[in-house]
């Protein structure tokens, strides 16, 4: 039986989907493996991290894409890992028992190629110690010719509905920026039963080897993350907050956050928590620096809690 997490109260404490977090920082899926890749680093403190989102998990094991799968770009990174993971049974039966649920919150990331896949993986995590479930609706629907669930609001809502029927745990829907109207997608996902939203997933991009005249990423395209996408992500958070804020649906704002100022922008735009991912690849202690900067800002502006900044944009 996992020991329950006991949050500390500080100006950085936040509530997200009913979960008390020590910090507004959420470590993003795919950037810290299944948690142990980060929590085992010397100097890790649960005061610095509010929650860890585990690597994307599918019903069956996946080997992922062929290399190259990662490529550094100016101010960012392309990745096309292909959801490499050991499958839901191994994650629940072998990996989760090895995590220390007393040190932070852990959120599963659910992926699938059909709605039935999403439902099955969600049901498997429902009977586990996991604190919440994030739905990665950017996966391609093989029954619709590879069309991505997350790029079509009605399809996104169907995935959320199916997962909602399988669990009472908090559901967080990770929205794609590669669509026409992210606000409409957010609205339908909220109506379908999501408890929270993660904004945004990576933006599709590519890189070319000019000598070989071939794509550098074997999959041709990959997801672009890092500081290069921050202005886009910030706008999407502000747009989604217009829909989600009045309904009390909290947002994980993510996309290029590396500094305290970045985090503050996302909070002011409407994010209740902020996701850190690519920054960890070159600075494993970025979270400590971001939290320190947030505390300094709160003190300088005489604001009692980081939650008081959420959605405080004046316009």
Burial of 126 (0-12, 13-18, 19+ CB in 10 A): middle
For every residue of 44-111, DSSP letters joined together read --TTT-SEEEEEEE-SS-B--PPSP-EEEETTEEEE-----B--HHHIIIIIGGGS-TTTSEEEEEE-
Measure the CA–CA gap between 77 and 75, rounded to whole angstroms.
Answer: 7
Q: How far apart are CA 263 and CA 268, in angstroms?
A: 9
Q: What does the block give as tokens for 9?
A: 């109260």
**Distance separating alpha carbons of residues 58 and 63, to the nearest angstrom:** 11
Catalytic position from the list 31, 111, 139, 163: 139
Of the CA atoms within 13 Å of residue 96, those in its CB half-sphere come to 25
Class of residue 70 by CB neighbours under 10 A (exposed 0-12, middle 13-18, buried 19+):
middle
Known catalytic residue at 287 = no
E-strand ranges in the chain read 14-16, 19-21, 25-27, 51-57, 70-73, 76-79, 105-110, 132-136, 140-141, 147-148, 171-175, 196-199, 203-205, 208-209, 214-215, 222-225, 251-254, 273-276
Catalytic annotation, residues: 139
């Amino acid at each position: 039986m996992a020991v329950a997490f006991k949050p500390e109260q500080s100006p950085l404490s936040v509530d997200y989907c009913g979960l008390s977090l020590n910090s507004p920082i959420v470590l993003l899926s795919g950037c810290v493996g299944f948690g142990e890749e980060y929590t085992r680093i010397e100097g890790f403190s649960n005061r610095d991290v509010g929650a860890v989102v585990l690597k994307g998990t599918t019903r069956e094991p996946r080997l992922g894409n062929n290399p190259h799968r990662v490529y550094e770009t100016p101010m960012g990174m392309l990745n096309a890992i292909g959801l490499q993971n050991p499958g839901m049974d191994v994650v629940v039966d072998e990996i989760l028992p090895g995590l220390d649920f007393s040190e932070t919150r852990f959120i599963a990331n659910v992926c699938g190629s059909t709605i039935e896949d999403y439902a099955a993986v969600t049901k498997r995590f429902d009977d586990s110690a996991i604190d919440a479930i994030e739905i990665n609706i950017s996966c391609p629907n093989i029954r619709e010719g590879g069309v991505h669930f997350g790029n079509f609001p009605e399809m996104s809502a169907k995935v959320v509905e199916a997962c909602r029927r399988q669990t009472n745990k908090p559901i967080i829907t990770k929205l794609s920026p590669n669509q026409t109207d992210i606000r409409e997608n957010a609205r339908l996902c909220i109506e379908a039963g999501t408890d929270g939203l993660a904004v945004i997933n990576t933006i599709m991009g590519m890189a070319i080897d000019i000598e070989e005249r071939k794509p550098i990423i074997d999959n041709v395209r990959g997801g672009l993350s890092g500081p290069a996408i921050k202005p886009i992500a910030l706008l999407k958070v502000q747009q989604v907050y217009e829909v989600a804020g009045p309904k009390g649906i909290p947002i994980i704002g993510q996309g290029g956050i590396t500094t305290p100022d970045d985090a503050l922008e996302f909070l002011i735009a409407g994010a209740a928590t902020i996701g850190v991912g690519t920054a960890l690849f070159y600075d494993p202690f970025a979270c400590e620096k971001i939290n320190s900067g947030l505390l300094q800002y709160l003190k300088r502006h005489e604001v009692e809690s980081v939650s008081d900044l959420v959605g405080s944009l004046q316009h």
